[in-house]
Structure 1
Amino acid sequence: MAVKDVKKVVLAYSGGLDTSVILKWLQTTYNCEVVTFTADLGQGEELGPARKKAEMFGVKEIFVDDLRETFVRDFVFPMFRANTVYEGQYLLGTSIARPLIAQRQIEIAEQVGADAVAHGATGKGNDQVRFELSYYALKPDIKIIAPWREWDLTSRTKLLDFAEQHQIPIAKDKRGEAPFSVDANLLHSSSEGKILEDPAQEADEIVYQRTIRPEDAPDKATVIAIDFENGDPVAVDGVALSPAALLTRLNELGKANGIGRLDLVENRFVGMKSRGVYETPGGTILLAAHRAIESITLDREAAHLKDSLMPRYAELIYNGFWFSPERRMLQALIDTSQHSVNGRVRLKLYKGNVTCVGRESPNSLYSMKVVTFEDDQGAYDQVDAKGFIKLNALRLRLGAMAGRRGGAL
């Protein structure tokens, strides 16, 4: 991209060292106007300093948006309706935040008349893919600047030198190598790199920020109730809460009981394996609760179909295809399945574990009259099972007989 082609760019800006360097680099390299956008997704950091830093750089248009409710309502909850986990374990806390940030960036770009957007993701990670696929899906002709793929600031030393040359404030703990990098939002925290790069070494306790050690959790279990309407949680212990407030409450309960830690080696979309340490306290509780309420409200084949599609759905989110037509199609199917997913689940939280101890629903498909070991008064004729078994065994019997005659499987 020719430098002269960019007149105004919207930068996803955290106020940290990397994006502060990027801000100045955009101004000096592209000689363009920079608009900053900082999203409050519940990362737990004060965002006022980001605004002050942007002002220090002479930025005239500064956006600091509280997107917590939008994040949980329109991104996290739809994902949890599918019981989504990537590679069997990861609850996609980072992945699900990127399309929202990208969406808001594009909205701002259109609002202020910007012709480009920029992000601070590196050329080795998944986030560059997630951001840029979302940008292109929402605004096909947008220009994208990815500084980590363009500049020559290829080391931490060069980054710090650039910061000093341009009088960019550097926090004392940024001198030298950071022990690990952290991404956080209301759903999770993610720690990667440096001291975590060797998957054979146990993560130090300093890595964990959202949970206490399960060993240090109370010796008495905490029992809670979560109410669901159309597949989404709406109340905890009978208290109705907004989406963000509900997830915040579950995070508090999960933290206090040491719930939601995960040490994972995952397969990145760009091709390499990566070790990450994740904490998703509220999400871990929510997943267990949602599966529990579905267990009594979903038809068997509907539930099995959902489970069979979930890995594909998870992969789409992980790889950055939130705005793809196939993800939207899957979402429509998933959402249709949730109309009967209503009721209450009771859970026991104890030293890192979440156990369902009760579930009830006005839409329950569970019939005590049918499943009882006592007299079911004709609700189920056990004699019918004989024909059912013989019909299902027919192909097995034919195959066994053919095998005895020397036939191939």
Structure 2
Amino acid sequence: MKFFLSFFLLLGNIYAIEKYETIKTSCIQTSEHSGKSQKQLKDILIKQAKREAIGELYGSLILSKTDVKDGKLVSDEIKQKAVGSVRIKGNPKFYNGVNFGEICSDINAYITKKDLEKYSLKQMTLQNFCFNDTTVATKDIKQKAKEKAYREILTKYKPSLKNISLSQAQELIHDFSISNDKFDFNTGSYCFKAVGSLYPYEVELYKPQTNKNIQQKVIVQKEPIQKPSYIIEKKQSKTSDKIYFSNDYLEGKVLYEIIGDKVHIDILIDNVYRNLKGGVSVSFPQLMNSRKIIDASSNKLSKLDIYEKNRKLWNTELRKVIRSSYLLVESWQSSWKKYKTQSISMIVDIERMDRLILNVRSVLVNKKQQSLLPAFGEKDQQGFPIKQIIIKR
């Protein structure tokens, strides 16, 4: 009897673990959000419901992670990222609440196993890592090899971290260990098996530590002998952010970084549904032509098109061809594989602009059916729902 009871308890735990779905109701008072449009109120309701859902969907994986870094509560940043990964099954339901002036929303929120794994330790292994540097003294080889292995583990997970410092690498790697180490006197190589664990979300949230007080200085010397040098300080603005949005079919991420008068933009959309044709679009309501687009590229398998003002485009609401009102950049794949990413990367000149507005969207096409990301919301010049992103300097 005890055996069967234990079996059913274990089975119940397995099903509980595999359930990544919950229904959440969120309500707000319209009087507390005066001046907001109907769309903005709906967005507030959905975001609030998603925040409430992460406690059930992620549990202690997120709620237990609280830290303070540079005067900022890290757990808030973690939760913000987690909210971005929460998807909505079907369409949200909006209705009037029981209290006067109250509006509510019901959503069926869910996450995938892949989302959950980002907040669980991931073990990385260097099976036969060898360090060989003739400039390093024999007594220092073990320490230098260990430092190199730290960086190698992170680079294996995320190649862009190849120049990370040792102290920063140690912050991201947990439970580091070395085994089966040996020194080859013939080659001067120190080899071993290295194992380190990391939290994927920490690596994704990681931002290189830079000294904000360091400024480029140019010395202008008028009279070298009699007068002191004049120092001109040149400041360079640098701002970056990541925006996440997703649904049952597509997962989107937009990354941007402002460097001086240019903004580097990466739009990454994952197909999580099935093998279909589809594309990614970004339009710029402020731009009429591509003169400010310094560089634009897409995946190797994608076809990239740029449509300037007055080009012919299809409007899905009017069901007819129209003339474009502003710049559109579109990537398209005739065979977009499941779990593959389609992207648009570009550099835009924002000189004399205080902000840049992006209208981002994606679509999967199955014969006459379309799966859109986002599925609802503000619409672009073609009548498709878009995720509007405002990049401020």
Q: TM-score range by the shorter chain?
A: under 0.3
Looking at secondary structure, tell me which structure has more helix per residue.
1
| Higher-RCO chain (CA-CA 8 Å, sequence separation at least 6) | 1
